């Protein structure tokens, strides 16, 4: 249930970025990009235990965009 919500947010983030670029909202776009990089670094530095499957799932979502 939680992962469904997360994947929904991830899927819609790209749309938000596109909308912010279209509306010329550069500041929001930069913030989203920074957040994305921070999230990637966080995922990469996660210890490989029970989170391995979610890590692979999230990385797959990131690669899609």
C-alpha to C-alpha distance for 19 and 21, rounded to whole angstroms? 5
Q: What is the per-residue pLDDT for 37? A: 81
Residues of the domain holding 36: 2-64
Count of structural domains within the chain: 1
| pLDDT at site 30 | 78
Residue 18 CA to its chain's centroid (Å): 14
**For residues 1 and 55, is the Cβ–Cβ distance under 8 A?**
no
pLDDT value, residue 33? 83
pLDDT tens for the chain, 65 residues: list them: 567 777 777 777 777 767 766 666 677 777 788 888 878 777 666 665 555 566 666 667 666 55
pTM, full prediction:
0.30
Per-residue pLDDT, 55:
63
């Amino acid at each position: 249930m939680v992962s469904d919500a997360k994947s929904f947010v991830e899927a819609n983030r790209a749309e938000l970025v596109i909308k912010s670029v279209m509306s010329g909202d550069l500041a929001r776009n930069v913030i989203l990009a920074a957040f994305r990089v921070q999230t990637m670094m966080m995922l990469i530095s996660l210890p490989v235990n029970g989170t391995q499957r979610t890590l692979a799932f999230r990385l797959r979502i990131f690669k899609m965009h």
